[in-house]
Amino acid sequence: MSEETTLREQMCSLARSLFDRGLTGGSTGNISARLSDGSLLVSPTGTSFGRLDPARLSHFDAGGRLIGGDQPTKEMPLHTAFYDTRACGAVVHLHCCHAVALSTLPEVDEDNFLPPITPYAVMQLGRVKLLPYFRPGDPAMGQAVRGLAGKRSAVMLANHGPVVAGRDIEAACNAIEELEATARLALLTRALHPRLLTGAQIGDVVTTFDVEWDT
């Protein structure tokens, strides 16, 4: 099986898993991954993560020209902003419930969206930047990501959903699942004054696991 065929199947399998577990619903969310030749596979516009067809994924050449498949998601500016500013192999954007709910709360730290409840979000995501609300498909979302100059692997679009870049498609999916799980923990413990990781504990995780921890 060729690299491209394998990646097409993997993208659709992981997307279906995210959909089946309620991490994005209907025709929401989009996913992309880069092949070794620099070309890009992207979920088409208006498609459901539960029913992606490997043969119909949008295919862009290394120069950004659509060379096959259906028309791509309208959130392409988000995806290309990450690929252009970071050395990543995949980007995933979901509309997951708990992360969106957390993004609407006034006390959330815009520069460090997720509270340090467990070490795993620190390990997989670093600091998550909360970006303001943008209309879906607005190219300004991509401009906002570019404005971070490649310093964040994950952002949260307020009232919309998270976007995560990873070294490959599996890493990106794992990381965005961790983001949603941490957001859920944050909401569950919000009124209970939880004991969070200390600065020293976070520093130990960052050092031990060589985490990209933008300050």
Give the residue numbers annotated as catalytic, written as ranges.
Answer: 75, 120
First to last CA, the chain: 43
What is the C-alpha separation between 26 and 7, in angstroms, rounded? 23
* Cβ-based neighbours of 39, under 8 Å, separated by 6 or more: 59, 60, 61, 62, 67
What is the CB neighbour count within 10 angstroms for residue 124? 22
Paired tokens of 134: 């943008």
What is the C-alpha separation between 135 and 140, in angstroms, rounded? 9
- Kindly report the CA angle at 138 between 78 and 111, in degrees rounded to 5? 60
What is the CB neighbour count within 10 angstroms for residue 162? 29
